[in-house]
Amino acid sequence: MTPEAVSHSAISILGLGHRLPAATEDNEQLCRTLDISPTWIEEKTGIKRRHVAAPEDTLWSYAVDAARGALAMAGVMPEQLDLIVVCTFSGDYLFPPVSAKVQQQLGATNAQIFDLQANCAGFVTGLTVAADRIRGDAEVNHALVIGAEFCTRYVDRRDVNTAVYLSDGAGAAILGRSSAGSGLLASAFHTDTSNFEGVRLRGGGSAFPNDGRPFDAAIDRMEMNGIATWKQAITHLPPTIRKACRKAGIEPGDVDFLVFHQANLRLIEYLVRKMGFSMEKTYCNVAEVGNSGAASLPIALSEGVARGKIKPGNLVVLAGVGAGFNFAVSVWRWTLLTPEAQP
């Protein structure tokens, strides 16, 4: 393959997989530590329950299980992987990266590895970074991109601003070359740091090291300004979607299906209405799964495809928003058959 041909390669999602914890926490259970009602949570967020990893669970094992599902759907062997990207802010260790453990456990001995931290926009960002790596190197043919989070381990169960939303899980995608005009058509990104502190976890960072410092929930647990997050999302995500569509040479009205970061059902409903779509054009699992950070979008995508919501040939938008705040959108000409539709 010539360098020019490589740089113009079409890159598609070849397989998807995910893993959720078996244990769930419904609103009735959560409200034992909160001064609100289960009805209030559902009315404000649309969330009914969230999945919670067991104390002995490891994030890398969830990432590996999601990866194995994606590899099986794609028909790709671990040794065929050239790149592994894990999108997370909640790795088992500060370092080494989760991606190294995934490479080890899969036996993907030929794969380059790195972790990517763009918070809840991580998976969409990771897909674009991996696709660019494939386009830039003729020897890179298959990439594994994983979104994996154990958000609940960083939540104060008495904090209504975080506890009602956050969940655990992992989702994965295999990327590979495809026919011209298919797969990833365009990506668009935006950053607005005016509310940099709106969503944060300070404890353990170099500004707030744990060395000799007593535990402080105000520092060592996640903090989230819900109003700031809402305003950022409704202000910047729609124009970023429109920008990605423009770069792909399509109009927003041409889009067949959208999958959002599963932050909050009410937020997704608002964004869909603002973009002029109906809820039939998106798949949401946040009511039953909760917000699992960088894992939420790939889990929803994996479930949506398994349920036949996305068809080959569809124009699909993936859209995420993460702390900082950063926004990531990609437009795809879908090629992946659902398992039931595959011959």
Active-site residues, by number, are 120, 261, 291
Angle between helices 296-306 and 59-74 (to 10 degrees): 30
Tokens of 286: 């946040």
Report the C-alpha gap between 70 and 75 in whole angstroms.
Answer: 9
User: What count of Cα atoms within 13 Å lies in the side-chain half-sphere of residue 270?
Assistant: 16
Q: Where are the beta strands (DSSP E) in 226-314?
A: 257-260
User: What count of Cα atoms within 13 Å lies in the side-chain half-sphere of residue 110?
Assistant: 11
Among 292, 295, 297, 288, which Cα is nearest to 27's? 288
At 54, the amino acid letter reads: A
Tokens of 140: 């890179």
Among 306, 57, 15, 20, which Cα is nearest to 176's? 15
The backbone region for 156, taken as left when phi is positive above 0, alpha when psi lies in -120 to 50, beta otherwise, is beta
Distance between first and last Cα of the chain: 30
Report the C-alpha gap between 142 and 70 in whole angstroms.
Answer: 12
Give the DSSP H/E element, type plus range, for residue 172.
Answer: strand 168-178
- Edge-to-edge strand order for the sheet containing 83-87? 10-19, 168-178, 142-150, 83-87, 112-116
